[in-house]
Amino acid sequence: MTYLAVPISGKDLESCKEQIQASVKAGAQMLELRTDYIESLNTEKLAQLIADAKQTALPIIVTCRDSAQGGMNNLSSDIRKKILTEAIKLGADLIDCEYANFIKKDFAERIKQALAQNSKTKLILSAHNFKGPFKNLSGTYEEIFTACPDAIAKTAYHAKHINDCFESFDIIEKYGKKVIALCMGPNGTISRIIAKKLRAFLTFASIADKAATAAGQLTIEEMKTRYRFDKISNKTEFFGLIGDPVGHSIGPVVHNACFDAEKLNKVYLPLLVEGGQIEFNEFLDNVITRNYLGLRGFSVTIPHKRNALEYARTKGEYIEPLAVSIGAVNTMVIGVNERISCYNTDYAGAMDALTQTLGINRKNLNGKVVSVVGAGGAARAIVAGLADVGAKVTIYNRTVSKAHNLALEFGCHYAGLDKIEKLDADIIINCTSIGMHPKVDATVVPAHLLKSSMTVFDTVYNPMETLLLKQAKEAGAKLVNGAEMFIGQAAEQFRLFTHKDCPMQTIRQTVLAALAKK
């Protein structure tokens, strides 16, 4: 079992008590009493805090963190020693002592002595690095276990990139419940979830965002509801959204709701992969060389759709022909022997959204005059689909050369965004990220160009009603929103990930509810 531990970090006993109650209610499985947060800490306050925590019957860790390793209130070495030894006497299930302090003679002697008198209490020896990964992570664990073989060894370091997490995963895979290995910061968030599959001793979650004691910590609610923490076992398969940014995406909520509806032992994660092709390749290599992680498939978004295609091409992996002609991959499935299959589900999602709204078949798009704004991955998918049915497409893009290349490939017209004033079409499709959260006051097509005879389709789905769609509505145009495209492509991804049909009612309800909250 991997405990879901919640840090209690009130500055007085009253607020600690409130946090303890809230943690129990939210489903905490262990409490970490961060005594260093308590103002004017003394042994009386410690005794009361432990008594309050013990009423819950949950196992408790007592920590009195050194400020050199992220502790509060700059407590002296003497008070920290006193608190930890007293916590042992008071029957704490575990105490957390920094390894760097434990190896100091006086610290070690007093703690070992107290532990010898109360064999019930277990020792966590921890090491933290708030700047980046450890120079020698496996060496750090070996050192801790050599010094104290019975201890639970813990490291927490700032992940500068998601690729920094894999070393931590290898540690948990090697030592299992003898270790806690977490990565801090937004790039380390997944380490908090994956820890359970790998059977680490514990992972942390906070009661609320503002109560988090480390960057990147999720709330218990997010862990349990969004990331299906209680369902995670060593057999769980992980999927996820590779992109930058990913925090805004509704993908995790939507795919996890579908996995839940179908009772599948699968969890979908946000995978923030910063950088370009090199970092993307490194991430995929890290994944496929670690079968034990159970990462089995990905949705791919900005800026990695071409990187995904190039990766698969270089490695000789399967790429469906449509994805090759579109020139972008938005779905990767890792199959037998870690061979990867790549697809593009954006095309079908977009075409279905457009034709269903217009109440027509794809072939009825033949001869329609369409202006596509953007020349990235989404634009390519849509232009390929439109060209295939004989629509007359003009591509507008900020980088004219990209519009030119795309137009040459699919037999379209093209222009720079500076020529947008010339736009006149039956259908306008925004395939740029302009208007997307947080820059919701931006639009790519000036309002005066919009007419009631037009159909205006914005692929942006966050927010669901972009400024472009608001202005198109005012002009009396027909509207297609990005949510419909999202539902279509996500349902197809679900099928590729699971080989089952997507629960359409669940996906539609979840997408619309998630977008309405934005």
Alpha carbons 30 and 6: distance in angstroms, whole number = 6
Residue 163 engages ligand NAP in binding (rule: CB under 6 A) = no
Residue 23 engages ligand NAP in binding (rule: CB under 6 A) = no
Question: Reduced to 3 states, what is the DSSP secondary structure of residue 308?
Answer: helix
CB-closest chain residue to ligand NAP: 376
Nearest approach, Cβ of residue 395 and ligand NAP (Å) = 9
Helix (H) or strand (E) holding 114: helix 105-117
Residue 305 engages ligand NAP in binding (rule: CB under 6 A) = yes
Query: Closest Cα to residue 346, out of 265, 457, 469, 463?
Result: 457
Query: Closest Cα to residue 438, out of 458, 467, 418?
Result: 467
Direct distance between the N- and C-terminal alpha carbons of the chain, in angstroms, rounded to an integer: 35
Residue with token string 């996906």 = 507
Residue 502 engages ligand NAP in binding (rule: CB under 6 A) = no
Site for ligand NAP in 229-258 (CB under 6 A): none
- Per-residue x/- track, 431-470, ligand NAP (CB under 6 A): xxxx-x----------------------xxx---------
Alpha carbons 377 and 373: distance in angstroms, whole number = 12
Helix (H) or strand (E) holding 128: strand 122-129
Residue with token string 């509060």 = 72
Alpha carbons 455 and 470: distance in angstroms, whole number = 13
Residue 383 engages ligand NAP in binding (rule: CB under 6 A) = no
**Cβ-based nearer residue to ligand NAP, 436 or 445:** 436
Q: Which of 154, 196, 305, 392 is catalytic?
A: 305
Query: Closest Cα to residue 241, out of 268, 280, 208?
Result: 268
**Cβ-based nearer residue to ligand NAP, 41 or 429:** 429
Distances (CA, A) of 481 to 62, 352, 445, 447, 455: 51, 12, 15, 17, 11
Residue 177 engages ligand NAP in binding (rule: CB under 6 A) = no
Residue 376 engages ligand NAP in binding (rule: CB under 6 A) = yes
Query: Closest Cα to residue 444, out of 497, 392, 395?
Result: 395
Amino acid at position 208, single letter: A
174 assigned to active site: no
Nearest approach, Cβ of residue 150 and ligand NAP (Å) = 51
Nearest approach, Cβ of residue 186 and ligand NAP (Å) = 20
Residue of 59, 240, 349, 503 interacting with ligand NAP (CB under 6 A):
349
Residue of 7, 133, 251, 377 interacting with ligand NAP (CB under 6 A):
377
Q: Which pair of structure tokens corresponds to residue 406?
A: 């795309």
Site for ligand NAP in 396-425 (CB under 6 A): 397-399, 402, 417
Using the contact rule CB under 6 A, the part of the chain among 23-31, 207-215, 250-258, 481-489 near ligand NAP is: 481-489
Q: Binding residues for ligand NAP, per CB under 6 A?
A: 302-303, 305, 346, 349, 374-379, 397-399, 402, 417, 431-434, 436, 459-461, 482, 485-486, 489
Just list the catalytic residues. 305
